[in-house]
A and B are shown apart, each in its own frame.
Chain A
């Protein structure tokens, strides 16, 4: 009897031991990576339970365990900066304003080059090489673009245009824009042109005057594109719009959402925004009882025939940090999120049945729990993302469906008016890497002083020239051109 019990216990022990080994082996096979993205991303809902559902869905589909770091969108850049500088780096994070920050992160050694991974990946290498060319640091690629290259242009409310007799083509000249928009200044309740506080959006107007307000390669040599007669001409044009009441007088305090609200509520007649905002404006103007059509003005053609939309190129990008212990898994995560339609759909609009569910007629509608934290079923991701979403597994609401063909047309047309865009030439000059952000700040300060009238063009540019001398700007150019 004792022998039987002993054998039974031995077998049970061996079985449990084997089970333990198998379980731990399975666990060991599932790599874990830490991912830092702001709270607006994880299925577009801020609800922690819904975000957890998105993470579970991704883990299941990609086969990687995700340790999520989810800061609020408004503090995201500060949090990333803190994590990088404190050495507590996540394995993967989404770099905002990639054109400026990816070169900076690379120059500081925070992120690793991904060329080898891109070469090996059929999905990542299928992307148009021009996309990667936007940001090359020492000939290497350190990022995977989060979305397709993105552009901004002007959106004009049709009801306001009709009311004031504003007649503008989709590519008017700067003079036409000034003359026609001036007609709206007689109405004290309308802001003819609403603009956000972000001065780097001035580049849309600079394009019309052949200006690229940064250090950029011109005829093979790096030059300062800001301190030029053309830039002064462009700023005087903006100042004219501002002084004569066309440009929003309080633009310097406008957040993007304030500007958008002004437009879809009908407080403003025109604004500057992303190419894929058509459905958004149609939907929100309807909700605000101010429904109208929205006309795109892709570019303003300047006095010398130049112009183009505001090319933000790579707005956000995925990057892998130099402390990542499993870059293969990190790249797999990025690759699947960016190029796999099933996964991108989950991260863009959430999980079916949790974030959204079909109504009686079978149209997908957001659920109340998701709506409470700002979720809306928005088709923007269809245009912005790389994959083709032919099999979405749901039907759009008829209102959205109605606006989609026009949005598709606009998304195609904007590609015919793409403005210039150059990445910051990081990693070539230590001095430049140190001053790149303060130089940007100085340019924006100079531009805003001129437009707001706190300094004349001469004074502001003289101040800029002094600053340029103080940072040894000419030496920076020599180093960059070496």
Chain B
């Protein structure tokens, strides 16, 4: 029996294209990999190897001293606080964003456009920090963890993404549930949420990263530094030698890089598991306006 040749015949031009394409993609990869590699190997280098304006590509030494220093500086306490705030904050945000998105997706909602416009206005106009602080203070939230969750609980951007996604779900699906006697809460829980997993995963990650990286609100709303989060601690360590009057210990690049690694570690661990939802969720949410 004659063998069927499945190979695509490669012309010379195609071969050249493949080689150049490979080189180009490799270079693009390097642009992203080299800085990360540099951060990693600088963080484990000894002090004498990072003195001067050096940019390490090849590891010269290995020491975990900088990581040990970070762990001694109250890292774990701040880390736990950040995890708790980010987790509770994300749950709180999702709890209000999903029903809000579902409500705004209802085509027969009275004043839907008005509500949407009022929500969109908050994306365009920022009230500024002082009025924001005054409101948070009026509710007695200053110097409490609630100040880091409640006032920033709803992201307009995320709300719009969810609302758009829910709007794209066929009406027939919801109608049939209504005919079966389901109320709005049942529809949300049993119909909308199961079919919205990609967008929910993406928005959950968005919220988690927002809470995780939150800095200015922590600095402004929290007075007591036993309550600050990891990002504040890491930035403080990074800039500790900046004080003009105390003459604090100088911070070398290896310490700064170790701080970066420790700061991005949790998100770096989390991201690969939900990245497939991350892209698809955003694409889905952006289909219908």
Tell me the complex Cα distance, A384–B245, Å.
Answer: 9
Contact B235 A74 (CB under 8 A): yes
Tell me the complex Cα distance, A74–B241, Å.
Answer: 11
Query: Which has the most chain B C-beta neighbours within 10 Å: A48, A78, A289, A368?
Result: A48
Q: Chain B residues with Cβ under 8 A from A70's Cβ?
A: 223-225
Binds B, one of A133-141, A241-249, A261-269, A472-480: A261-269
Tell me the complex Cα distance, A378–B250, Å.
Answer: 12
Contact B247 A378 (CB under 8 A): yes
Q: Is A71 an interface residue (CB 8 A)?
A: yes
Contact B242 A73 (CB under 8 A): yes
Contact B239 A257 (CB under 8 A): yes
Contact A68 B240 (CB under 8 A): no
A75-B219, A88-B137, A255-B242 known; A82-B130 Cβ under 8 A: yes
Contact B244 A373 (CB under 8 A): no
Tell me the complex Cα distance, A73–B245, Å.
Answer: 11
Q: Chain B residues with Cβ under 8 A from A265's Cβ?
A: 51-52
A39 to chain B, nearest CB (A): 6
B15 to chain A, nearest CB (A): 44
Tell me the complex Cα distance, A289–B134, Å.
Answer: 51
Binds A, one of B33-41, B67-75, B107-115, B153-161: B67-75
A288-B51, A376-B249 known; A39-B236 Cβ under 8 A: yes
Q: Is A371 an interface residue (CB 8 A)?
A: yes
Mask, A463-478, CB within 8 Å of B = 1, is: 0000000000000000
Contact B248 A44 (CB under 8 A): yes
Q: Is A47 an interface residue (CB 8 A)?
A: yes
Tell me the complex Cα distance, A255–B98, Å.
Answer: 44
Contact of B245 among A39, A284, A316 (CB under 8 A): A316
Q: How many A-B residue pairs have CB under 8 A?
A: 133
Query: Which has the most chain A C-beta neighbours within 10 Å: B129, B130, B225, B232?
Result: B225
Tell me the complex Cα distance, A380–B247, Å.
Answer: 7
Contact A46 B240 (CB under 8 A): yes
Q: Is A429 an interface residue (CB 8 A)?
A: no
Q: Is B53 an interface residue (CB 8 A)?
A: yes
Q: Chain A residues with Cβ under 8 A from B235's Cβ?
A: 72, 74
Contact A371 B223 (CB under 8 A): no
Q: Chain B residues with Cβ under 8 A from A147's Cβ?
A: 245
Q: Is A164 an interface residue (CB 8 A)?
A: no
Q: Is B6 an interface residue (CB 8 A)?
A: no
Mask, A346-380, CB within 8 Å of B = 1, is: 00100000000000000000001101111110101
Tell me the complex Cα distance, A44–B69, Å.
Answer: 17
A152 to chain B, nearest CB (A): 10
Q: Is B237 an interface residue (CB 8 A)?
A: yes
Contact B249 A371 (CB under 8 A): yes
Contact B245 A290 (CB under 8 A): no
Q: Chain A residues with Cβ under 8 A from B249's Cβ?
A: 371, 374-376
Contact A380 B52 (CB under 8 A): no
A267-B52, A284-B250 known; A46-B245 Cβ under 8 A: no
B64 to chain A, nearest CB (A): 14
Q: Chain A residues with Cβ under 8 A from B48's Cβ?
A: 289
Contact A376 B248 (CB under 8 A): yes
Q: Is A315 an interface residue (CB 8 A)?
A: yes
A95 to chain B, nearest CB (A): 13
B88 to chain A, nearest CB (A): 22
Q: Is A186 an interface residue (CB 8 A)?
A: no
Tell me the complex Cα distance, A373–B73, Å.
Answer: 6
Query: Which has the most chain A C-beta neighbours within 10 Å: B134, B232, B245?
Result: B245
Q: Chain B residues with Cβ under 8 A from A16's Cβ?
A: none
Contact of A39 among B69, B72, B225 (CB under 8 A): B225
B46-74, CB < 8 A from A: 47-48, 51-53, 69-70, 72-74
Contact A374 B237 (CB under 8 A): yes
Mask, B145-171, CB within 8 Å of A = 1, is: 000000000000000000000000000
Q: Is A214 an interface residue (CB 8 A)?
A: no
**Which residue of B has the minimal Cβ distance to A274?**
B244
Q: Is A280 an interface residue (CB 8 A)?
A: yes
Give 16 CB contacts A-B under 8 Å.
A41-B246, A46-B73, A47-B73, A48-B74, A70-B224, A73-B236, A82-B129, A82-B220, A88-B137, A88-B142, A257-B242, A257-B251, A290-B51, A315-B244, A376-B248, A378-B247
Given contacts A46-B240, A48-B74, list 18 more A-B pairs with CB under 8 A.
A38-B243, A39-B236, A40-B246, A44-B246, A73-B236, A74-B236, A75-B216, A88-B133, A88-B137, A257-B242, A257-B250, A261-B250, A264-B250, A316-B245, A348-B246, A373-B237, A374-B241, A378-B248
Q: Using a CB–CB distance below 8 Å, which chain A residues touch chain B? A: 38-41, 44, 46-49, 51-52, 68-75, 78-79, 82, 85-88, 146-147, 255-257, 260-261, 264-267, 274, 277, 280, 284, 287-290, 315-316, 348, 368-369, 371-376, 378, 380, 384
Nearest 10 CB-CB pairings of A with B: A374-B240, A372-B72, A40-B243, A378-B247, A372-B73, A69-B223, A374-B248, A376-B249, A48-B226, A70-B225
